[in-house]
Amino acid sequence: MEVRSDVLIIGSGIAGLSLALKAAEIGTVSIITKKHKAESNTNYAQGGIAAVISSEDSFDLHMQDTLSAGVELCHRDAVEVLVKEGPRRLEELIAIGVEFTRKRGILDLGREGGHSRNRIVHAYDRSGSEIERALLHSIASHPNIKVYEDHLAIDLITEHHLGRTVAQESPIHCWGAYALDVKQNSVKTFLASVTVLCSGGVGQVYMHTTNPPIATGDGVAMAYRAGATICNMEFIQFHPTTLYNSGSPAFLISEAVRGFGGILKTKSGEEFMNRYDDRASLAPRDIVARAIDSELKKRGDEHVLLDLRHLSAEKIKEHFPHIYETCLSRYKLDITKEPIPVVPAAHYSCGGVVTDLHGRTSISNLYACGEVAMTGVHGANRLASNSLLEAIVFSHRAFEDMKSSKNKVMPPIPIIPPWDESGTFDAEEWVLVEHDRKEIQQVMWDYVGIVRSDARLERAQRRLRLIREEIENFYKKTKVVEGLIELRNLATVADLIVRCAFMRKESRGLHYTTDYPLRDDRLWLKDNVTSLWHT
C-alpha cells in the first residue's frame, strides 16, 4: 500500500505535533507513530518549558545558563535563536489551549538545576501531558492531518532503494519512509515531498531509563543508515533523581523538586552536594549525577535520598500533585513525611542527527526536530527544561523553511518500489535474538554509563559489534516485526554512542572518562561528527 502526502512526520511528540499543525496550512500531512499518538517522551515530561517572561530575567541570563550547562560546546547562534524565539512559541501553545499553572492569573515560574532565575513555565508536574493534550485536540479536527497509529518506520527511502550506489560525496534525497503497520502486519510505503524526523530519544539503549519503551533511537539509526551526519552521541544525560526500584521506565522525580527546595542526602542523612559544587543540590544534571554515582560507589549504597520533609506538606502537594499521588498510591511512599530514595537513570540524548538552524539535515528534503536532532543548543549537557523549548522553536523554523520553499520547483518523486520481503521467512527463531535487547542494555549500563574508561568502552565495543552483526544477519533473512526493527535500531545507536565516546579523549559535561579526567579545550572544543563513511 502507498500513502502520499506533502509532508511526512515520523513521531508524535511536541516537535511532530506542533509542526504538523503548522505544516497543514500549506499541504497535507501524514503522521506515523509507533504506538498510541500520545505515547512519547513529551508525555512523560514533568518539568516544563524554560522561557524568559519575567521582568527579573533576561535573554542574556538564559543564554549564559545554557552555555554554562553545555560546557562551552553549545553553538551560540543556536542558543540565541532558542532563547529569543522561545517566548513567542510559548504564546502559541497557550493560544491553542495549553493550560499552564497560574498564580493570581500570572504564569507560575519554577526553577530547576543550572538556572539563575525562576523561568520554568509548567502545568504543575505534568507539563508534557498537558501540552500533548492540547496539541492532539487541535490536530483531531484538522482535515489536512492524518495520524497513523501503530506504524513503525523501518527505513528512510533514498537512492539506495532505487538500486543506486550512494557514495560519500553523492547527494542523497529522501522521499519518505517504509513503515510497518503493526496491527495489519504489512509494510506500507509513505511518500512525501518533505520528511521530518521527530522520533524522540534513545533512552531504551540503557537498562535503567526514564524513557518510555518506544524510545529506541529509531530516527538516529534510520538517518545514519541513510547517510546523514550524526554528532555528539557520547553526551547522554542521566537524570540524577529517579525513584529507586520503580521499574522500567523509572519514575522520574522532577528537577523542579530540587528547585523547590529538596535536598540531596546520603542514606545516613548527610548533605553531600556542597562538596561537589557551590550550587549544591541546584547544580546542573551532569554534576549532580556524577556526585550521586561517586557517593554510591564510595559507600556501597543502592541509592541516595531527596529530602523534602523541611518543606510545607501542603505546598508539596500543591506543586507536585502527580509525584505525590504516584509515590503514595503506587509505591506507598509519603514524600511529605519520608525522604525519597533516588538514583540516576538515562534520560536525554544531547547528540543526534545534525541540522542547521532551520532543521535541515545533510540529506535533501529531510528535516529533524526535537530530541532526535543535534541543533547545537545543548552542547555537552542539556540545561533543564530547554528540551521542550528546543522542540517548539526549531520545529517552527523548519515549518518556515518549508513554507518559503513551497513555490520552488521540486524534482518529482521517482517511482519507488514496494517493500520487498521475497526470500525471507517468518521469525520463528525470534527467541534466539530477542535476548540481545537485554544484553545491549546491560552492556551500555555497565560500561558506557555515567563514568567511563577506555577499557570499559573497548569491552562494550567488542560485544556490541558481535551483537549488531548477529541482528543484521537475522534481519536480512526474516520478515520484519516490531521487536526486530527496534532491536536493530538499538544496536546501531549503541554502537554510535560507544564510537563517539571512544573518539572524545577528554572529560566534558555528560562524558566523563577516568583515562582523560580533565577538559581539553585545545583539542576537543569541537563537535564529534560521524557518519556511514567515518567508522
Q: How far apart are CA 32 and CA 478, in angstroms?
A: 23
Could you tell me the three cell numbers for 62? 538564559
Q: Which of 351, 321, 348 is nearest to 336 (CA)?
A: 321
The amino acid sitting at 115 is: H
Place of cell 506538606: 313
Q: Which helix (H) or strand (E) holds 349?
A: strand 340-349
Q: How far apart are CA 154 and CA 385, in angstroms?
A: 30
**Within 10 A of 467 (CB to CB), how many other CB atoms are there?**
22
Q: How far apart are CA 244 and CA 339, in angstroms?
A: 12
Q: Which helix (H) or strand (E) holds 83?
A: helix 76-95
Q: ∠ at Cα 349 (115, 275), nearest 5°?
A: 45
For residue 285, indicate whether it is catalytic. Answer: yes
Q: Which of 34, 355, 399, 357 is nearest to 194 (CA)?
A: 399
> What are phi and psi for residue 110, nearest 5 degrees?
-95, 175
Which residues on neighbouring strands pair with residue 155, listed in sequence order?
A: 178
Q: What is the dihedral of CA 124, 125, 131, 132, to 10 degrees?
A: -140
Strand order in the sheet with 529-530: 373-374, 352-354, 230-231, 529-530
123-150 burial string, b = 16+ CB within 10 Å, else e? bbbbbbbbbbbbbeebbeeeebbebbbb
Q: Which helix (H) or strand (E) holds 195?
A: strand 186-197
Q: What is the dihedral of CA 436, 372, 228, 407, to 10 degrees?
A: 140
User: Crossing angle for the helix pair 387-405 and 14-23, nearest 10 degrees?
Assistant: 30
User: Across the chain, how many H-helices and E-strands are there?
Assistant: 15, 20
Q: ∠ at Cα 388 (57, 149), nearest 5°?
A: 160
The amino acid sitting at 284 is: P
Among 285, 397, 452, 488, the one annotated catalytic = 285
Q: How far apart are CA 144 and CA 512, in angstroms?
A: 47
Residues marked active site are found at: 285
